[in-house]
Structure 1
Amino acid sequence: MTKTGARVTALDRLLQGAGFPSRPAERGPRLSELAQAQRTAIGGLYRSLGGILDEPELRPGGWDLAYDGIRVELDEEMHFNRYRAVTLGVDPIASAPWAGAYDDYCRAHERRSGTGGRRWSSPSAERMFGAAAPQWTFEGGGAPRWKQRALYDAMKDVAAAAGAIRLSRVSVYDVIDGVRLEDLLRGRAVVPPSVVRTFVESRAFGVNR
């Protein structure tokens, strides 16, 4: 399987070829940067996913790709499961242009979220959500790392909805001009960079900064 980093690099090459001006990498959003309403929404999601801390320290990773006016997240297989589906159904995330397609992917591709390495759980995820259940068991603690990833994705979505950033999410399962994005990024098919750019811009959500 192509590594996520290689797929991000391939997407970046396409988008820069289509005229997206890149900018230095940036860290992800922090709760302190959001308004009270957004912080409350994230807190509610954390509890609904089984969070066990009163004041968790939430630190999403940096944006996958940063360009002038837009940030782009490339979501690979690990991002689609029942926990991410929970976050996609709440306001304001439910109004994002990718929400409907992503909900379908969560239902169709959960088995590809994976359990190897730290995909199912990790020490930092267990501090946030408690001990993991056995792999592929969703009673009790379920998959803490899946929950953590879903929550961090939701924080980025909420930051865009709040106007902190303009965000576009695309998935390896998306189909662009009849070709799955995964195949484009693997070099198995070719689509003009301008077509990829148009698709990415159609997924934009939030203000233009």
Structure 2
Amino acid sequence: MQQVLLSNLLSILKEGEVDFDDRFQLEFNPSFLDSKGQAWLHEIYDDLGGKGKHPLLEKANFDMKINRVLFLFDSPIHFNRYRLISLRSDFYSEMSFPFSEAYKRLCRTYEKECQKAGLQERIWNGPPVAGTWFGQASEPGDYSGVGASGWKLTAFNDAQIDLQSRIHGYKLIRIAPYETIMTGGSLKRLDQMLVNPNEDQRKVICNWFLRKLE
């Protein structure tokens, strides 16, 4: 479903003649990450229960790029207690991100939505390295003990992407499926509008997106 929503969003932007590059990949230069950045990442890794030295991403994929602005349309598995832990890092209070406060609220509100897909073993447990770095995951749905190693890895990688995109000179805009848009006299959720948007909704969504670039 996430790919359908993203595809519909990109289609709407093309109709609105928004000039963007999709499926942009950014390689991270390790020399850009100074001691303060390393300390922020280690703090988050430690808060998530990470073991040993924190791993570093070498690159990241983004849904689109407009000049020096990168966009990620996050799926429901990015909104949970572990992402909330990462968002509470000093990193987010010292470096301003337009989405951070809203994402904290969404992580508290929509964890049940995360569970609908996130309890699958491949997501809950994550890849084998998640168990190496965060410990063997508990049974799906059991947050005692280690909890969800896969969710923790996703939360840590999200924080890495936030930091690395900034120090590489880009502005990052994260789009949540739970964002609301005023249309037809009422607020509607973005993900619900993107399932099968009519002509009026497509125009509203395009204008909503363009305001993010202002």
Q: Cα RMSD between the aligned structures?
A: 2.3
Distance 1:180 1:72 in 2: 18
How many pairs does the alignment contain?
200
8 A Cα contact 2:22 2:62, kept in partner = no
Identity of aligned residues (%): 25
| Structure with greater helix share of residues | 2
| Structure with greater strand share of residues | 2
Of 116, 119, 130, which aligns to 2:123? 119
2:141 matched residue in structure 1: 136
Query: SS of the residue aligned with 2:157?
Result: helix
Question: Quick check: which has more Rg, 1 or 2?
Answer: 2
Displacement, 1:47? 1.4
1:97 aligns with 2:91: no
1:197 aligns with 2:209: yes
Alignment of 1:23-34 (within 5 A): 23=21, 25-28=23-26, 30=28, 32=30, 33-34=32-33
Displacement, 1:186? 0.6
1:206 matched residue in structure 2: none
Unaligned ranges ≥5, structure 2: none
- CA displacement, residues 53-92 of structure 1 (integer Å, 9 cap, x when unaligned): 3252435641122232311110121110011111112233
2:192 matched residue in structure 1: 183
Question: Residue type matched to 1:8 in 2?
Answer: L
Q: What is the TM-score normalised by the length of structure 2?
A: 0.82
8 A Cα contact 1:85 1:106, kept in partner = yes
| Structure 1, 29-38 or 91-100: larger mean CA deviation | 29-38
> Alpha carbons of 1:144 and 1:96: their partners in 2 closer, same or farther (altered >3 Å)?
same
8 A Cα contact 1:125 1:148, kept in partner = yes
Q: What is the TM-score normalised by the length of structure 1?
A: 0.84
> Alpha carbons of 1:20 and 1:39: their partners in 2 closer, same or farther (altered >3 Å)?
farther
> Alpha carbons of 1:199 and 1:128: their partners in 2 closer, same or farther (altered >3 Å)?
farther
Displacement, 1:179? 2.3
> Alpha carbons of 1:199 and 1:125: their partners in 2 closer, same or farther (altered >3 Å)?
farther
Question: Residue type matched to 1:182 in 2?
Answer: D
Distance 2:54 2:92 in 1: 22
1:77 matched residue in structure 2: 76
| Structure 1, 81-90 or 23-32: larger mean CA deviation | 23-32
Distance 2:194 2:110 in 1: 19
> Alpha carbons of 1:79 and 1:31: their partners in 2 closer, same or farther (altered >3 Å)?
farther
2:36 matched residue in structure 1: 37
Distance 2:98 2:119 in 1: 29
2:111 matched residue in structure 1: 110
Of 162, 165, 170, which aligns to 2:170? 165
8 A Cα contact 2:92 2:100, kept in partner = yes
> Alpha carbons of 1:40 and 1:15: their partners in 2 closer, same or farther (altered >3 Å)?
farther
Distance 2:177 2:146 in 1: 28
2:55 matched residue in structure 1: 56
Distance 2:98 2:67 in 1: 20
